[in-house]
Amino acid sequence: MNVRHMTTAAIVVAAATAAQWSAAAEGAAIGEGMGVLTIAFLALGAVVILAQVIPAMVIFGSMLVELFSPKRAKAAREKKVDQAV
């Protein structure tokens, strides 16, 4: 191989290496993007969160129903009347 070809190859390799360093310093990677496994992992996390939110909302709703139901308010008033007497 000729010295000129080796020099040209060394310059190309150095330029490519410098470009990779600057890309890595900026946080960008070659071929960066969300793959199938990343999307599947995020979807699984969303399913887990939804699986916890739905029963929590049901329990919260039943608590509100019991808290503001007329039977409970009437029973609380009768209990106060019985304690006062």
pLDDT at 47: 96
Task: Say yes or no: 48 and 81 in one domain.
Answer: yes
End-to-end CA distance of the chain: 111
Mean pLDDT for the stretch of residues 25-50: 81
pLDDT in tens, 42-67: 999 999 999 999 999 999 999 999 88
| Number of domains within the chain | 2
Residue 23 and residue 29 in contact, taking contact as beta carbons nearer than 8 Å? yes
Task: Say yes or no: 84 and 50 in one domain.
Answer: yes
Kindly write down the DSSP assignment for every residue of 7-46, as one continuous string: HHHHHHHHHHHHHHHHHHHTT--TT-S--HHHHHHHHHHH
pTM: 0.41
Show the domain range for 80: 33-85
Helix or strand holding residue 62 (H, E): helix 36-67
Task: Say yes or no: 49 and 71 in one domain.
Answer: yes
Where do we find the tokens 């007329």?
70
